[in-house]
Amino acid sequence: MSAVATMPKVRGKLTPNAPLAPLVWFKSGGNAEWLFEPRDEDDLVQFFRELDPQVPAMALGLGSNLIVRDGGVPGVVVRLGKPFAKIDRLDETTLRCGGGASGILVSSTARDHGVAGLEFLRGIPGTVGGFVRMNGGAYGREVKDIIISARLVLRSGEVVEWPLEKLGYVYRHSEVPAGAVVIEAVFRGMAGDPQAIGAEMDAIARAREESQPLRSRTGGSTFKNPPGHKAWALIAAAGCRGLTMGGAQVSEKHCNFLLNLGSASSAEIEALGEEVRRRVEAKTHISLEWEIQRVGSE
């Protein structure tokens, strides 16, 4: 697959051997064999239809919840840009949002239109495509509480619209197939006062700033909260606050965040996470599950 001749023609941007570290929050990891930034939905659909079915594909949003391993990502990484960040108001309380739109943009647009119930998206550092795929949540709410349906481009190039029921949501997981790209989602809130909605969003932003290491090279929440427990509390109880491995560290501010102190490899970040899991299990007999996605070759 190294020859350019094997790749379909595109109208967007198709880059071979593209560095991914600048595109992810950890600022670590290898290259994508190919990085595809489609011009529009038709460009993506046509590309998938013509691409060899054996070539893997994955979508990349803001790169906040991701470890890209140092060996890079085989196949095609699809990144949705501005053409996929549009938001339309369907009625008084319903928004249709492009897969490339950020949580901040969606919540701000909802506020401007007097749509309440989407404020928590202000606290999710990702795009619609990412948080629809993993049922992102914050401050007591999840995507499953607001989503009506999602449009997907399957790896085959088929475009489908899945209602909430078919998305199969559980905690931080959906049935969106591997290789599929979420290009749109419909969210519904309730009528609200823009000023009150804005105040709630500001409170969420302040809470995040106070409790999370947002100005660091991090991947966001590392492990899922086990039933009846908070991951950060288990990590702290196991003595992992501030634990380092190479250039990677468990945040002292919030134990469920891993940090790249500047020169950490993805291998060091992932190994630190595994050491945290080992210590928590030894101390509490609870096995932490990764929330951060880990992709690519070691």
15-24 per-position pLDDT tens digit: 999 999 999 9
Location of structure tokens 């095609």: 76
| pLDDT for position 188 | 98
Instruction: Kindly tell me if the per-residue pLDDT of 2 is higher than 60.
Output: no
Contact 34, 76 (CB under 8 A): yes
Nearest to 20 by CA among 66, 55, 80, 54: 66
Domains recognised in the chain with CATH numbers: 4-82 (3.30.43.10), 84-211 (3.30.465.10), 217-295 (3.90.78.10)
Q: What does the alpha-carbon distance between residue 139 and residue 198 come to, in Å, rounded to a whole number? A: 15
| pLDDT for position 6 | 81
Element (H, E) at 21: none
b (16+ CB within 10 A) / e for 126-147: bbbbbbbbbbbbbeebbbbbbb
SS3 54: coil
Average pLDDT (250-261) is 96
136, 141, 143, 144: CA torsion to nearest 10: 120
123: tokens are 């606290």
Query: How much is the mean pLDDT over the chain?
Result: 95
Average pLDDT (96-108) is 97
131: tokens are 């948080």
- Residue 181, beta-bridge partner list: 153
Average pLDDT (264-281) is 98
Q: How confident is the model at residue 1 (pLDDT cuts 50, 70, 90)?
A: very low
Q: What does the alpha-carbon distance between residue 62 and residue 124 come to, in Å, rounded to a whole number? A: 11
What is the per-residue pLDDT across 24-74, written as a single tens digit (0 to 9) for each?
A: 999 999 999 999 999 999 999 999 999 999 999 999 999 999 999 999 999
| pLDDT for position 96 | 98
Q: From the candidates 221, 251, 265, 266, give the one annotated as an active-site residue.
A: 221
What are the backbone dihedrals phi and psi of residue 241, each rounded to the nearest 5 degrees, phi first? -60, 125
Q: Residue 291 catalytic?
A: yes
- Number of Cα atoms under 13 Å in the Cβ half of residue 83: 13
What is the per-residue pLDDT across 134-157, written as a single tens digit (0 to 9) for each?
A: 999 988 899 999 999 999 999 999
Q: Residue 221 catalytic?
A: yes
3-state DSSP of 200-219: HHHHHHHHHHHHCCCCCEEC
| Burial of residue 221 (number of CB atoms within 10 Å: 0-12, 13-18, 19+) | buried
Q: From the candidates 41, 142, 200, 291, give the one annotated as an active-site residue.
A: 291
CA distance between the termini of the chain: 20
Q: From the candidates 111, 172, 217, 279, give the one annotated as an active-site residue.
A: 172
- Number of Cα atoms under 13 Å in the Cβ half of residue 24: 34
Structure pTM?
0.93
SS3 229: coil
Tell me 189's DSSP state.
-
